[in-house]
Amino acid sequence: MAAFARTLTSSLLLMFLFLNYIEAKEILVGGKTDAWKIPSSESDSLNKWAENSRFRIGNSLVWKYDGSKDSVLQVTKEDYGSCNTSNPIAEYRDGNTKVKLEKSGPFYFISGAQGHCEQGQKLVVVVLSPRHRYTGISPAPSPAEIEGPAIAPTSNAAGLKAGFLVTLGVLVLGLL
C-alpha cells in the first residue's frame, strides 16, 4: 500500500510539473515572420495584435527580421514613449530574437533602426501575474492604460486546478 502511495504521489508531482511546463510557449511577434516592420496603418500596429493576446510568465517572444537592417530594443516606458534608442535595457540584432518574459507587468520594445520607432514600429506586451489566468472573455488593456503590473480577468480554471491538486493530496495522505 505504501509503495502504491509513493508511486501515486510521484506521478501526481510529475503531472503537475508537466502541466506548468506546457503552459510556457514561444510566441511569434505579430503572428507572422515579417511583422517587425513599420506598420502600414494604425490597425496594422503590433500593439493591436498585443492587445488581443495574453502573455504569461515563462512565455518567450520571438521576432524574425533582417538583422542587417533592423534590431529589437527592450526599453523603459519613458524611452518607449520618446523613441529613445540611446540607452536600451537590452539590444538584439541577430534577426531571430527570442526574449523570455520572466516577470509580470509591461515590457516595452522599439525598433533600433533610425526613424522606425517614430513611424510606429514598437510594441508593448503585458505579462499576466501568476495568480491570473486568461479565459478569452476580456480583451487586454490598451498601451495607454498600462501603469503597473498586469491586471487580468480571473478564471475558475486556476481554482479548479488548485482544488484538484488539494483533493488528490488529501487522497494520497489518506492512503499513507
- Give a three-class secondary structure readout of 1-59: CHHHHHHHHHHHHHHHHHHHHHHCCEEEHHHCCCCCCCCCCHHHCHHHHHHCCCEECCC
Query: Residue 109 pLDDT > 90, yes or no?
Result: yes
Q: Which of the two residues, 155 and 116, has the higher pLDDT score? A: 116
Q: Tell me, yes or no, whether 10 lies in a domain.
A: no
Give the pLDDT confidence of 59-103 residue by residue, as tens digits. Answer: 999 999 999 999 999 999 999 999 999 999 999 999 999 999 999
Give the domain range for residue 148.
25-153
Q: What is the mean pLDDT of residues 152-159?
A: 44
Q: Tell me, yes or no, whether 2 lies in a domain.
A: no
Instruction: Please report, rounded to a whole number, the percentage of residues in the chain having pLDDT higher than 90.
Output: 55
Which segments within 38-165 are labelled E, that is strand? 55-56, 60-64, 72-75, 90-92, 96-100, 105-111, 122-128
Query: Residue 157 pLDDT > 60, yes or no?
Result: no
> First CA to last CA across the chain, in angstroms?
8
Asked whether the whole model's pTM tops 0.85, one would answer no
Total domain count for the chain? 1
Instruction: Please report, rounded to a whole number, the percentage of residues in the chain having pLDDT higher than 70.
Output: 61
Q: Tell me, yes or no, whether 87 lies in a domain.
A: yes
Q: Tell me, yes or no, whether 20 lies in a domain.
A: no
Q: Tell me, yes or no, whether 52 lies in a domain.
A: yes
Here the CATH number for the domain that contains residue 85 is 2.60.40.420
Q: Tell me, yes or no, whether 142 lies in a domain.
A: yes
Q: Tell me, yes or no, whether 18 lies in a domain.
A: no
Q: What is the mean pLDDT of the chain?
A: 77
- To which residue does cell 533610425 refer? 114
- Residue 99: strand, helix, or coil: strand
Q: What is the mean pLDDT of residues 25-46?
A: 92
Predicted pLDDT of residue 133: 55
